[in-house]
Amino acid sequence: MRVLVAMSGGVDSAVAAARAVDAGHEVVGVHLALSRMPGTLRTGSRGCCTIEDSRDAHRVAGMLGIPFYVWDFSERFKEDIVDDFIAEYAAGRTPNPCMRCNERIKFAALLDRALALGFDRIATGHYAEVIRDAEGRPELHRGEDLLKDQSYVLGVLTGDQLEHCYFPIGATASKAEVRAEAAERGFPVANKPDSYDICFIPDGDTKAWLSDKISMRPGLIKDEEGAVLGEHDGAMTYTIGQRKGLGIEKPAADGRPRFVTGLDPESNTVTVGSREDLTVHHLTGIRTSWSGPAPSDIGDTAETGIDCEVQIRAHADPVPARAWLGEVIAEVPAHEADVPAARPAGQLLHVDVAEALSGVAPGQTMVIYRGTRVLGQATIDVTAKDRLGEGAIATATV
RNA sequence: UCCGCCCUGGUGUAAUGGCAGCACGCCGGCCUUUGGAGCCGUGCAGUAUAGGUUCGAAUCCUAUGGGCGGAG
């Protein structure tokens, strides 16, 4: 097969490329330039898309003897990821730009160009597996190393996209093995640190980065009863579940930490409460997508939903859940028409969970699993304290 | 003006004559392809002020300043 390997400059995609070559494929390496001003990206191996990362990827491609290109996706990246990120925060939500990038850039813009150029697959260094079912259709499964499993961030991929995905290191037992293999192959990136934080925010200070891109107005911080506890300088930079940086003078009467439990862009109010005030048992998602065909047995009531597990962060424990379909939102509701990045169209996904979830922010992604398999995902839009369904949720996992 | 009670890190408190401790906060580290969370740290930071008693004072005494309540 003709394989285009997306080489971030890290150890994982380097080994992925090497394995694709070893497997006998015709391999071309490509590094994505995502910023028009690379100097503004973070350096020191913290991200996936700095100048150094590009050079590292180039060196590895050279060692493998494969063609290597740098493709400029900075325009798409700015429109689809950075601008969306800003608009989401301005609307009081908390976006996940890495998943957005997978959805719109790596497995969309990049994939489209690869297919147009005659490639059969794009390969990446993700820890996840594509397994074919009896009919030969692709299923997305967790990576073998559950500590490094990255199936969550690939939950946005549809069956059509998975059809062309190739994850050469997904079945590797541990990251240590990948690093050891990189060292054996003499790759200079063998000991490069894992990437973390948002790649387009140079110093990792999201609040400061946002502050000159969205209008910041001082407002009040209140407790669950409405008593004023302090002030903030812009509600939109906070997120549900946040504990640090609240700047409240007095500790709570019970001496326990306080967390952001709500933020309202209209009244510009941040609400704080206890850890218990953060717990939810129901999620409503929007922009639902399926990792392949939608489950045939999913209904539109809690009783006719499917038993599954839901995961609300990249490395959170999956929680037993019941998922069912809701209405289809065709257009932006009138009352939200003037809100930036108002709720997008799509089918609602309702999820009741067997165990309380904590710190769940609208805008984040819930990924639905059954065992190791990713079923689909939705963007969290609303959360609720109590379940909607009556019955117990099956807690046995596959 | 008089009487009584009170004053300990940024905040809330513990220690009633014997090593000023705890919590929240802040800072740093770990973890992490998102936000957060979580975990770790001999990390930061305090006895309102001035005297006195005592081997030793946050603690007892005196004065001053500040706060609260009551007679006015």
ipTM of the complex: 0.87
Nearest one of A354, A391, A351, A381 to A368, comparing CA atoms: A351
Q: Is nucleic acid strand B under 7 Å from A317's C-beta?
A: no
Nucleotides of B under 7 A from a protein CB: 10-12, 23-27, 31-38
The label of the residue with tokens 């959170």 reads: A316
Which of residues 57 to 116 on A have a Cβ less than 7 angstroms from any strand B atom?
Answer: 94-98, 102, 106
Residue A101 a catalytic site member: yes
Cα–Cα nearest to A369, from A397, A392, A347 = A397
Residue in A290, A235, A285 with CA at minimum distance from that of residue A263: A235
Collapse the DSSP code of A21 into the 3-class scheme (helix H, G, I; strand E, B; otherwise coil) and give the result: helix
Q: Which of A287, A241, A248 is nearest to A94 (CA)?
A: A241
Task: Please work out, in degrees rounded to the nearest 5, the angle formed at the alpha carbon of residue A213 by the alpha carbons of A35 and A46.
Answer: 40
Q: pLDDT tens digits for A203-233?
A: 888 998 998 899 889 999 999 999 999 999 8
- Of residues A367 and A211, more confidently modeled: A367
Asked whether residue A206, judged by its CB, lies under 7 Å from any atom of the DNA or RNA strand B, the reply is: yes
Burial of A32 (0-12, 13-18, 19+ CB in 10 A): buried
CA of A229 to C1' of B71 (A): 37
| A26 — pLDDT class (breaks 50, 70, 90) | very high
* Statement: the CB of A285 is under 7 Å from strand B: no
Whether residue A270 is predicted with pLDDT greater than 60 in this model: the reply is yes
Considering only residues 18-57 of chain A, list those whose CB is below 7 Å from strand B: 48
The question of whether A98 is a catalytic residue gets the answer no
Alpha-carbon distance of A239 to A241, in angstroms, equals 6
A112 contacts: CB under 8 Å, gap ≥ 6: none
* A122/B66 CA-to-C1' distance in Å: 72
Model confidence at A37, pLDDT cuts 50, 70, 90, reads low
Nucleotide nearest to A253 (CA to C1'): B12
**Tell me, in Å, how far CA of A255 is from C1' of B65?**
31
The closest alpha carbon to A87, from A305, A323, A339, belongs to A339
Radius of gyration of chain A (CA): 22
Distance in Å, residue A230 CA to nucleotide B4 C1': 35
DSSP A291: S
Does the C-beta of A252 come within 7 A of strand B? yes
CA distance linking residue A375 with residue A394, whole number of Å = 17
